């Protein structure tokens, strides 16, 4: 007597038909009949009797059905308990991403979760320096950051992006084939707040050319910074400094223009970062491997 036999028998009893049970179980009718006959031979009692076009349980069949339902309920209950234990032990992964990573990490994580439903993933978008602290303190398991300082963190170059200068489509500088840094410094400008990596990189670039540069407007709310810069620039408030990947669609649609500034050859790197002595378990490895594949597919 097997569980498969008991399931088939219970379905025949429920539907009062070998044919309907075979359809419901996606088995052939001869297979269903053979399985039930196997029970009859083992128990040495008739389990069904014909009543017109339907079949009905015999007294022995009723006893077997009750016991079969109890056994199947126990098996299903056991499976539910195991699933619950698995749920309580569900693995968690805390991911951090800096500004550049914010353009792709949410979509990447959704793809990852579909492939690994057993792993709960949370995402934090913040400055690289704050994410680095999160990795060091154990609040984050893995991050995609623009820079890494601590020797306790392992980092692998993931990609890079150009920092570019943008303007509204009708800005006079868009007509120039080449815009010198000195001319840029005279224009009203919009960029991320001081203290961030991008701000420091841009200031350093102007300083290297001995050009004084003071942005007109600094956007301080990180969660809306990119949209605020794009909106300000498109409305003619000034030129803007931003990563290329954040405005590619706007440039293609004609909402913004990229200025040609040969001297402004800055790039931002992205690194996949983990703690050297912490969080080397399966979820971290799975996500790190996934990111590399996701990058290559993208």
pLDDT digits (tens, 9 = 90+) for 98-138: 877 877 888 899 999 888 888 889 999 888 888 888 888 88
- Residue 5 has which token pair? 């036999």
Residues facing residue 50 across a β-bridge: 55
Tokens 């009750």 locate to 66
pLDDT for 76: 66
pLDDT for 281: 64
Burial of 194 (0-12, 13-18, 19+ CB in 10 A): exposed
> How far is it, in rounded angstroms, from Cα 65 to Cα 59?
10
> How far is it, in rounded angstroms, from Cα 290 to Cα 295?
8
pLDDT for 83: 58
Residues facing residue 159 across a β-bridge: 270
> How far is it, in rounded angstroms, from Cα 252 to Cα 44?
79
pLDDT for 260: 92
Q: Considering the entire predicted model, what is its pTM?
A: 0.56
**Cβ atoms of 283 and 140 closer than 8 Å:** no
> How far is it, in rounded angstroms, from Cα 233 to Cα 228?
9
The closest alpha carbon to 263, from 163, 174, 194, 161, belongs to 163
**Cβ atoms of 273 and 148 closer than 8 Å:** yes
Question: pLDDT per residue over 183-199, tens digit each?
Answer: 888 888 887 767 667 77
> How far is it, in rounded angstroms, from Cα 297 to Cα 68?
51
**Cβ atoms of 9 and 15 closer than 8 Å:** no
Which residues, 6+ apart, have CB-to-CB distance to 178 below 8 Å? 260, 261, 262
pLDDT for 138: 82
The closest alpha carbon to 221, from 129, 148, 127, belongs to 127
209 has a pLDDT exceeding 90? no
pLDDT for 161: 83
What is the phi-psi region of residue 102: left when phi exceeds 0, alpha when psi lies from -120 to 50, beta otherwise? Answer: alpha
E-state strands within the chain: 48-51, 54-57, 91-97, 119-125, 142-145, 153-167, 189-192, 217-219, 239-243, 257-258, 266-275
> In the predicted model, what is the mean pLDDT of the chain?
83
221 has a pLDDT exceeding 50? no
pLDDT for 258: 93
Q: What confidence category does residue 167 fall into, taking pLDDT thresholds of 50, 70 and 90?
A: very high
């Amino acid at each position: 007597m097997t569980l498969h036999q008991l399931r088939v028998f219970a379905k025949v009893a429920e539907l009062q038909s070998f044919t309907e049970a075979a359809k419901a179980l996606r088995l052939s009718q001869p297979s269903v009949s053979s399985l039930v006959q196997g029970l009859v031979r083992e128990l040495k009692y008739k389990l069904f009797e014909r009543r017109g076009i339907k079949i009905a349980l015999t007294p022995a069949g009723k006893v077997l059905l009750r016991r079969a339902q109890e056994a199947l309920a126990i098996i299903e209950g056991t499976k539910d308990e195991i699933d619950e234990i698995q749920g309580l032990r569900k693995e968690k992964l805390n991911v951090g991403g800096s500004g550049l990573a914010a353009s792709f990490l949410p979509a990447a994580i959704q793809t990852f979760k579909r492939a690994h439903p057993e792993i709960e993933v949370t995402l934090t978008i913040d400055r690289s320096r704050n994410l680095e602290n999160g990795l060091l303190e154990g609040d984050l398991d893995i991050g995609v950051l623009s820079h890494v300082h601590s020797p306790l963190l392992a980092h692998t170059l993931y990609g890079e992006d150009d920092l570019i200068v943008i303007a509204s489509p009708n800005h006079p500088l868009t007509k120039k084939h080449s815009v010198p840094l000195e001319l840029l410094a005279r224009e009203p400008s919009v960029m991320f707040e001081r203290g961030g990596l991008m701000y420091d990189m841009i200031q350093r670039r102007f300083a290297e050319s001995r050009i004084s540069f003071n942005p007109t407007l600094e956007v301080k709310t990180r969660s809306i910074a990119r949209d605020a810069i794009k909106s300000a620039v498109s409305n003619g408030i000034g030129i803007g400094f931003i990563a290329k990947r954040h405005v590619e669609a706007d440039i293609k649609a004609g909402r913004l223009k990229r200025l040609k500034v040969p001297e402004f050859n800055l790039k931002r790197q992205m690194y996949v970062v983990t703690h050297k002595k912490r969080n080397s378990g399966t979820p971290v490895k799975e996500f790190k491997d996934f990111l590399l594949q996701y990058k290559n597919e993208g």
